[in-house]
Amino acid sequence: MISVVFGFLTATLWGLGAIPAARSSRRIGELATLAWVMLIGLVVAVPIAVIGGAPEGGVATSTLGWLALAGVTNVAGLACAYAALRRGKVGVVAAFLSTEGAAAALLSIVAGERVAAPVLIGMTLAAAGVVVVARGERGPAERETGSSDPKALIFAAAGAIIFGFTLFASGNAADDVPASWVALPARVVGVTVLILAVAGGFRLQRPSRRIGWAVLVGLIEVAGLICFAIGARNSIAITSVVASQFSVISVLAAFTFERERLTPAQLAGLLTVCGGVALIAGFG
């Protein structure tokens, strides 16, 4: 049940975070958004990691490898996600990105984690539901206006695959280090890349009201990763799939704040996702 609870908290944070992420990417660009998210995240993650303390007996080399993989893939995944959110609808992009949970769950199952049959059915329903949500965006009205940008879906699909490795690596590292440590590697990697980029001529958006949304996203990302790490201590697969349901929250938030309307197909997809999550919560 801990995996379900913290998976849901992760989904809530990431689902609501898609709105400020989209607004920031469209206002200052995806690269500037990523840079500020990493900077703010590092400022927040370092004190949290210090408070969490170091693990007894040090950190194994394998754990450092998992943390490094989580850091690199998280930065790459966020870059793809912000590029997608800049070009596409929040609800549709989130639906694609949310298949990260299915990817992470599959990786954990291949690695030997055992889950009950109803949970597998729930995973299948959840994955099918987000696909329906994504396909439902191409309703009659959208086909007439041709408002969808194919690049948004390509970036979103790439982000989902990359994030699958992030979740899997974070879950494995969470067994050996405090949950507060899991959010730190990506921020270190991101800031390192930023320093190199600035040295190479990249101009970072100066602090102003324009970066407000990026600051909020930076805080949300750290909180979401910590919640995920806590849940993954019990089950990577279940936490990953429940967390991936952030697409449901993103679609509803986009409808409320961005006036993105839901098609009948999207509603059907959302119900399918909810059914899958219910199975996972009941038998996980």
In b/e form, how buried is each residue of 137-168, taking b as 16+ CB within 10 angstroms? beeeebeeeeebeeebbbbbbbbbebbbbbbb
Question: Residue 140 has what pLDDT?
Answer: 53
The answer to whether the beta carbons of residues 265 and 135 sit under 8 Å apart is: yes
Instruction: Return the biggest CA–CA distance within the chain.
Output: 62
Question: Residue 144 has what pLDDT?
Answer: 42
Question: Residue 128 has what pLDDT?
Answer: 85
- Helices 236-243, 150-174: axis angle to 10 degrees equals 150
The answer to whether the beta carbons of residues 223 and 44 sit under 8 Å apart is: no
Question: Residue 97 has what pLDDT?
Answer: 87
CA dist., res. 159 & res. 155, Å (int): 6
Sequence-separated (6 or more) residues with CB below 8 Å from residue 15: 94, 245, 246, 247, 248, 249, 250, 253
Question: What letter represents residue 206's amino acid?
Answer: R
CA dist., res. 258 & res. 192, Å (int): 34
- Tokens 């949304």, residue located: 213
If the chain, 284 residues long, is cut into consecutive pieces of 10 residues, what is the mean pLDDT of each piece? 90 94 94 93 91 80 91 94 94 83 79 81 82 66 53 92 90 82 88 87 77 94 90 82 82 87 80 78 64
DSSP class per residue in 13-82 = HHHHHHHHHHHHHHHH-HHHHHHHHHHHHHHHHHHHHHHH-PPTT---HHHHHHHHHHHHHHHHHHHHHH
Question: Residue 36 has what pLDDT?
Answer: 94
Domain ranges of the chain: 2-283
